[in-house]
Amino acid sequence: MDKRLEQQSALFVMDGVKGGHDGMNYGTPKKFRKKQQNTLDVATLASEVRAGNRISLSKAITLIESSNAEHKQQAQSLLQELLPHTGNSIRIGITGVPGAGKSSFIEAFGSMLCELGKKVAVLAIDPSSSISGGSILGDKTRMEELVRKPNAFVRPSPSAGTLGGVHKKTRETMLVCEAAGYDVILIETVGVGQSETYVRGMVDFFLLLVLTGAGDELQGMKKGIMELADGIIVHKSDGDNIRPARKTVQEYKQILHFLQPATPGWMSTALAVSSHEKTGLQETWEMIRAFQEKVYASNYWTIRRHKQTRDWFHAMITDHLLDSFYQNTDNKMQVSRLEEAILQGQLTVTQGVNKLFEK
């Protein structure tokens, strides 16, 4: 964004906030009207979001997810407007193998939190959704109880392309939800692979859902995932499954004892939960509250959040540099030619890199 234009737009936004929220511009000279109209929309949207209007919140997130250049600029003005009102939630990442019952857990856990008076936002990060396109409809129908709660906001997966993009948009969506007064943000990882590491990098507490039979379960999971978890839920602990679930909880506790803690000063632990019978949900919330208290007290809460923001900034700088390099067709072709020559033993790796950048 041009610097002058940005300052101007910031001013218009301020005017908009001061000068009534009806979107009309009495007495504004005609030649400024169109421009001011645009920026006033952002200001109005910002105050509607802050007032807790869920339709406006949805609109704001759509603006953030848009790839249209004008929308992108408006989204950034909106975010800048909302920034001072962000950060006042607990951000919880939730992951687990397919079939672990993430949606039914979020439905039950989120509903309980709403009944405790919390405002709960559910976001999903799904780097694969642009390919499969499958989970968006799924989200809408899965959490029937939760979506009817006035305190809940359930947003389906963003449909953005690259993982870097989803990452960025989920972070920005999270900030908008915080400005809208949501106390608890639940971020569900829908995809497999890299998404867990991304989510770990944007949340305070990371929850792993597993089923009984720990060994077999973990075979299908990403390496190192257990060491990212602040808490493990052994899910579907109901009926005949209660006893094996309790045994699995003990097994996980034993493994967690061997591993380095995901959060300094917090000993990760495991719990048996049934979303069907609604057991273990309060204990889950107590665990998260105990975590929050400990990590607040040690100041690691702020340290981690600052680190996450810095890492996000640096990751976006790296993404930008790599994108600009690989978007150039010549570079891309030369890289794959050189790669081939290296694999065939015609060139050393260093020679390949030197050739690439010799111009």
CA R_g for the chain: 23
Cβ of residue 150: shortest distance to its own copies, in angstroms?
Answer: 29
Two tokens, residue 303 = 């340290």
Q: Which of 143/338 has CB closer to its own copies?
A: 338
Helix (H) or strand (E) segment spanning residue 122: strand 120-125
Whichever of 68 and 282 has its CB closer to its own copies, that residue is 68
Q: Which is nearer to its own copies, 48 or 172 (CB)?
A: 172
User: What is the Cα 295 distance to its own chain's centre?
Assistant: 20
The separation between CA 125 and the C-alpha centre of its own chain, rounded to angstroms, equals: 6
Q: Minimal distance in Å, beta carbon 220 to its own copies?
A: 8
Cβ atoms of 45 and 78 within 8 Å: the answer is: yes
List beta partners, residue 208.
95, 232
Q: Kindly give the interhelix angle for 3-18 and 69-82, rounded to the nearest 10 degrees.
A: 60
Q: What is the DSSP letter of 31?
A: G
- Which residues sit at the interface with its own copies, rule CB under 8 A? 1-3, 6, 76, 79-80, 83-84, 86, 168, 171-172, 214-215, 218-219, 221-224, 226-228, 251, 255, 257-260, 262, 306, 309-310, 312-313, 316-318, 320-322, 325, 335, 338-339, 342-343, 345-358
Q: How far is the CB of 237 from its own copies (least distance, A)?
A: 19
- Closest approach of its own copies to the CB of residue 281, in Å: 26
Give the other-Cβ count within 10 Å of 298's Cβ: 14
Work out how close the CB of 124 gets to its own copies at its nearest, in angstroms, rounded to a whole number.
21
| Residue among 242 and 315 whose Cβ is closer to its own copies | 315
Least distance in angstroms from the C-beta of 195 to its own copies = 16
Partnered with residue 271 across adjacent β-strands are 233
95: exposed, middle or buried (Cβ count in 10 Å: 0-12, 13-18, 19+)? buried
